[in-house]
Chain A
Amino acid sequence: MSLTKKDWILLVLKQASLDRIHIMKAAFLIWHRSGRNIPDYFEFIPYLYGPCSFEVYSVLGDLQTDGFILQPPHPLPRWVNYHLTDKGKREAEQATKRTPHDTLRVIGQVCKEISHLGFFGLLQRVYAEAPDFAVNSMFRGVIK
């Protein structure tokens, strides 16, 4: 049984609580390191900050509405981490059982690599691996 887009986000957040930009880049790197060939996966475009799939935003919204994840409010406009709820943890556990070991390894490796990176470091990592998705980035000039 193949994974849904919701499953992929839950599997990422099972590894680490991440903010929206880290989730976006994790989802991209998982696809990129899987030979850019995952059936029914998010479709990425080279956007203003590099690879972006607007579907990631809508899936995050759906997961939040359905009570699988939560994002504490923050008084300032900053990226704030999403966390799995108990319901989300159970769903992520089920998704893990349906996921091949190699795929879980890629997800774990990507999350481990990027979870500690700041914004610049995150973009550096992604642009180095996939320069074709950095072509429209506003940050290309300042990311060395």
Chain B
Amino acid sequence: MTLILVIPSKEGLVMASDGQVTLREVKTRAKKIKKLNENCVWGAAGDLPLIQLVEGSIAELSNKERNLQNLRKDLSELVPQCVKNLPQGPPYDATFIFAEHETFARILIVDVHGLSIMLEDVPFAIGSGTLFAFTLFQKYLDLMPAGIDNRLAAVLAYGIIAETIEVTEGVGPPIDVWQLPPAENLTKEQLTGLEDTCTGLREAEIEMFLKAVKS
């Protein structure tokens, strides 16, 4: 299972994911967010064979540099075509999320049937723990996108994924975070910095709570 979320900010957006892949009884790790072009990243939640087939087809696209509005038709056709190319088996399922930032954040969601929706300047999540993520989004909805920069969006994204991992079966570390524009994957050290910031926020919350109890 997977959790991928997008948080828009005043200067761009952040996409974050968990890093656990479950293959029957085996847990392993994988990077779930890919770069489409300098302004766009994408990820998917669902059946890995389908996701990897789509990844291969996306890599072969000759017009990857275009924006999502122009790519929407191609991407929406590509996914059901990949489903057809898979061997007969149980119904394959996956949801694909593309996020780009030009003058504002644009999010494209595509399902296995090729149905797509386009959203602008709102946070969104796909995969397991989505409801939990949306609940946490609500607290900060008024801040997005104009009230936060990419740094704070990254802290928020990291914190939501970390808290979801604690309570949701099937999602796990390592957490991955991208920010754009330009599309940039945070380094291991930058991710550790986010982890420490989120741990600090949690510690601060506990300390404030304890002070309130004592007073």
Give chain B residues whose Cβ lies under 8 Å from the Cβ of A79: 196, 199, 203
Instruction: Indicate if B187 sits at the interface (CB-CB under 8 A).
Output: yes
Q: Which of A26-34, A49-57, A99-107 contacts B (4 or more CB under 8 A)?
A: A49-57
The listed residue (A57, A76, A139) touching B200 by CB distance below 8 A is: A139
Map CB proximity to B onto A47-87 as digits: 1 under 8 Å, 0 otherwise: 11100101101100100000000000000111100000000
Instruction: Indicate if A118 sits at the interface (CB-CB under 8 A).
Output: yes
Instruction: Indicate if A142 sits at the interface (CB-CB under 8 A).
Output: yes
Interface of B is mostly: helix
Count: A-B pairs, CB below 8 Å: 60
Are A57 and B192 neighbours in the complex by a CB distance under 8 Å? yes
Are A119 and B193 neighbours in the complex by a CB distance under 8 Å? no
Are A48 and B207 neighbours in the complex by a CB distance under 8 Å? no
Are A48 and B151 neighbours in the complex by a CB distance under 8 Å? yes
Bound CA span A55–B193, Å: 11
Number of interface residues of A (CB under 8 A): 23
Bound CA span A57–B22, Å: 29
Instruction: Indicate if A38 sits at the interface (CB-CB under 8 A).
Output: no
Give chain B residues whose Cβ lies under 8 Å from the Cβ of A20: 192, 196
Are A49 and B189 neighbours in the complex by a CB distance under 8 Å? no
In the assembled complex, how far is the CB of residue A23 from the closest CB belonging to chain B, in whole angstroms? Answer: 11
Which A-chain residue is minimally distant from B208 (CB atoms)? Answer: A142
Give chain B residues whose Cβ lies under 8 Å from the Cβ of A54: 187, 189-190, 192-193
In the assembled complex, how far is the CB of residue A121 from the closest CB belonging to chain B, in whole angstroms? Answer: 9
Give chain A residues whose Cβ lies under 8 Å from the Cβ of B152: 138
Give chain B residues whose Cβ lies under 8 Å from the Cβ of A136: 151
Q: List 17 A-B contacts (CB under 8 A).
A: A21-B196, A48-B155, A48-B197, A49-B200, A52-B193, A54-B190, A54-B192, A55-B189, A76-B166, A77-B195, A77-B202, A79-B196, A118-B203, A119-B204, A119-B207, A120-B207, A138-B155
Bound CA span A77–B159, Å: 11
Are A58 and B189 neighbours in the complex by a CB distance under 8 Å? yes
Give chain A residues whose Cβ lies under 8 Å from the Cβ of B202: 77
Which A-chain residue is minimally distant from B195 (CB atoms)? Answer: A77
In the assembled complex, how far is the CB of residue B153 from the closest CB belonging to chain A, in whole angstroms? Answer: 12
In the assembled complex, how far is the CB of residue A98 from the closest CB belonging to chain B, in whole angstroms? Answer: 27
Which B-chain residue is minimally distant from A56 (CB atoms)? Answer: B189
Instruction: Indicate if B162 sits at the interface (CB-CB under 8 A).
Output: yes
Please give 4 more A-B residue pairs, beta carbons under 8 A apart, in addition to A49-B197, A57-B193: A54-B189, A77-B195, A118-B203, A119-B200
Map CB proximity to A onto B176-215 as digits: 1 under 8 Å, 0 otherwise: 0000000000011110111111111111100110000000
Bound CA span A138–B208, Å: 15
Bound CA span A54–B191, Å: 10
Are A77 and B201 neighbours in the complex by a CB distance under 8 Å? no
Which B-chain residue is minimally distant from A136 (CB atoms)? Answer: B151
Bound CA span A118–B211, Å: 13
Are A118 and B207 neighbours in the complex by a CB distance under 8 Å? yes
The listed residue (A58, A61, A76, A120) touching B204 by CB distance below 8 A is: A120
Contacts known (A48-B155, A57-B193); A138 close to B166, Cβ less than 8 A: no
Bound CA span A138–B198, Å: 10
Which A-chain residue is minimally distant from B152 (CB atoms)? Answer: A138
